[in-house]
Structure 1
Amino acid sequence: MLNPPKTTDEIVSHLFSRSTPPPLEPGTKVYAPELTKSIAGLKEHMYVIAALHLANDDIHHCHLIAQDNEGDPTANMLHATLHRREGDYWNSKYWWSNVRSHPLIPSTSNAKSFVDSCEAVRKSKGDDSKLRERQWDELKKIVEWIRENYKS
């Protein structure tokens, strides 16, 4: 990519134009490494930046922000989601327990059940396409909601 996207709208458009949902667990492979600096340099609320890192499969940079803001329901939700995406299922469920209440998550028991489903498909090496689609919808909603509710 010659000129990586620079604005929040351009970055969001680029991240969500993928032809297939991202893996449940990206490991250490960031989707678009050239966006890392652009995302970090945005003049946006830190949760917008964290959510964009998460959508870019950049678990590390999302984790730095979520961990620094423990106790806030949105930071805890990001923390729970990123741990699920890195395959740290027990830790993900721990963070879902700390979310308690969030407008995006009507039931933390449903969120924990999704963690269990991700863990089960990983263990069985089964078809994860439906879970990947659900996760992709979830990531889109997280980014959209955080952008609407956390203005810089």
Structure 2
Amino acid sequence: MSKTSQLVSRLFAREPPPLEPGTKLWAPELKREIAGLQEHRYVIAALHLANDDIDSCHLIAQDNEGDPTADLLHATLHRREGDYWNSKYSISTHPLCNRAEAKAFVDKCEAAQRRSDDDDAPLRQRQWDELKTLVEWTRANCK
């Protein structure tokens, strides 16, 4: 099993994280391992995001603004940090993304956070599934 596959398995073995993870990384020791992978920058960005490392993902996404995959990463990280307006602004055309549905999901996440919704498990699961799909897609399509 490749190092990337091992990291993916470890990152996604956990329960879906909060909609907004805050500034704490899930596994701080993985930051350097992810950054050192011999993978496309979007794979690395997606793995950082799976580790709740919004800042590291942001550096890559913002440096590649205008690329559909970078824009999707950018929209996703802004949704996760609670910058909902910026998330909707960053949503662009991408094979994984229906813009109208993506914007509606941002609105649902924002409403749940405003209510301090204790029953946000379906939203957390959807967000987690989307992130898994994004990691898989970048691994298959970004070389």
Name the TM tier (shorter chain).
Answer: over 0.9
Q: Structure 1 segments of 4 or more deviating over 2 A? A: none
CA distance in 1, matches of 2:74, 2:56: 11
In structure 2, runs of 5+ residues without a counterpart are none
Q: Residue 96 of structure 2: SS of its match in structure 1?
A: coil
CA distance in 2, matches of 1:92, 1:102: 14
Task: Report the aligned-residue RMSD.
Answer: 0.9
What's the % identity of the aligned pairs?
Answer: 69
Q: TM-score, normalised by structure 2?
A: 0.96
User: Is it true that 1:115 corresponds to 2:106 in the alignment?
Assistant: yes
CA distance in 2, matches of 1:93, 1:103: 17
Q: TM-score, normalised by structure 1?
A: 0.91
CA distance in 1, matches of 2:18, 2:25: 11
Instruction: Figure out how many residues of one structure are paired with residues of the other and give that number.
Output: 141
After TM superposition, list the pairs within 5 Å mapping 1:57-136 onto structure 2. Answer: 57-96=52-91, 99=92, 101-105=93-97, 107-126=98-117, 127-136=119-128
CA distance in 2, matches of 1:46, 1:130: 30
Partner of 1:12: 8
What is the one-letter code of the residue matched to 1:149?
N
CA distance in 1, matches of 2:89, 2:94: 15
CA distance in 1, matches of 2:107, 2:96: 19
